[in-house]
Amino acid sequence: MIGERNLWANKLTLDLKFFMLLCGLIALVPLLELTPYTLGILIISFYFALIAMGWNLLAGFTGQFSMAPAAFAMIGGYTAALLNYHFGLSLWVGIPSAVLVSALLGFLVGSTVLGLKGPYLSLTTLALAEVARVVISNSHDYTRGDQGLNVPTLMQSRMGYYYLFLGILIGAALLIYSLMRSRYGGFLLAIRDDAHGAQSRGIPIVKYKLMAFIVSSSISGFAGCLYGTFTELVSPEMGLIQQTGIIISMVVIGGIGSLTGPLMGALIVYLGSEWLRSVGNIQMIVFALTVIIFARFFRTGLWGLFLKLYFYLFSDKKR
């Protein structure tokens, strides 16, 4: 047992190293003199990567398939926007309170729904996400409905946002890594692999599921709030089910239950869909087909394939 745990921990460390390597490469990309448009696309794919990492903590490491990550991003974005719009509070109040509100909502939602299992959990979170979106788009008096709300921006420079998002991604990866290497990470894995077993060994499973849910929803809320300040607009469209679908697909393609997977998935899916859009409007078809193929045949995603290749080369050298 201890050996296996160590093996998994080694894998995770390797995962983190590659994550850092990838981030290092990404940090060098702006040296290529990109157009502001391309830079914007990269920033938005970082936004998705951040939510995908948060969702992956819940789904990949804990095995709880929430369908609400995009809704939490929307809530985070709206918290900052509403505080600014109605009370004129600056973003330095808005951003922390966005994280706080999404954590609080994560706690409320989580403590209600996490007793449910499997498809029931997915359905309930899906329904809650839809309710939240409809409420926001219908409360014209407070949120201006589908028109969306303007948000002040942190800075004008896209380069600044690029490195801000990159830094936050690294921070989130370190947070998730240290969480997963700690005792609690072991509990989460146990819940994913065998909930009954974990419960009978005395792990309060709902409590730890709730913890993962709160961390995951605050990451989503933080991402949504930053995205709002970058685009200077929040709208109910951020919480569409399709957005959640895109996030889930990113994680599945990149590799569920890993650190590098969501980032790779987000970059590939978002950049790929932008590229396919220019080819012809086939991005959704290609993209849905890819997800099905990955989920059906390569369950560990790109990261799993990469890991296989890596171990193959690595063990060859040893011999």
Partner 1 sequence: MGLFYALMAVGLSMIFGILRIVNFAHGEFFMIGAYVYALSAMKMGLNPWFALVFAGAAGALLGVVVEKLLMRPLYDGYQSWSIVKDEYAVVVTFALSLLLIHLVDKVVGPSPFLGPSLVSTKRIALGPLMLNGQKIIAAGVSVFVLIGLALFIKKSVWGRQIQAVAQNRFGASLAGIDPVKTTALIFAISGLLAALSGALMAPIMNPSPDVGSFPALKSFIIVVLGGMGSIWGSMAAAILLGVMESFFAVYVSYDYRDTFGLMVLIAVLLFRPQGLAGRKGRET
Nearest to 15 by CA among 181, 253, 162: 181
Cβ distance to partner 1 smaller for residue 130 or 232: 130
Cβ distance to partner 1 smaller for residue 296 or 319: 296
Cβ distance to partner 1 smaller for residue 95 or 246: 246
Kindly give the interhelix angle for 69-87 and 118-138, rounded to the nearest 10 degrees.
Answer: 30
CA dihedral sign of residues 121, 126, 131, 136: positive
> Which range, of 13-21, 38-46, 62-70, 268-276, touches partner 1 by CB under 8 A?
62-70
- Site residues for partner 1, 206-225, by CB under 8 A, read none
Indicate which single residue of 68, 99, 234, 252 sits in contact with partner 1 (rule: CB under 8 A). Answer: 252
Contacts of 37 (CB under 8 A, 6+ apart): none
Indicate which single residue of 29, 108, 127, 309 sits in contact with partner 1 (rule: CB under 8 A). Answer: 127
For 302-312, b/e burial (b = at least 16 CB within 10 A) is: bbbebbeeeee
- Site residues for partner 1, 141-200, by CB under 8 A, read 192-193
- 112 forms part of the interface with partner 1 (CB under 8 A): yes
- 108 forms part of the interface with partner 1 (CB under 8 A): no
> Which range, of 32-40, 162-170, 211-219, 249-257, touches partner 1 by CB under 8 A?
249-257
Indicate which single residue of 120, 142, 275, 314 sits in contact with partner 1 (rule: CB under 8 A). Answer: 120
- 257 forms part of the interface with partner 1 (CB under 8 A): yes
DSSP 147: G
CA dihedral sign of residues 239, 81, 214, 161: positive
Residue 150's SS3 state is: strand
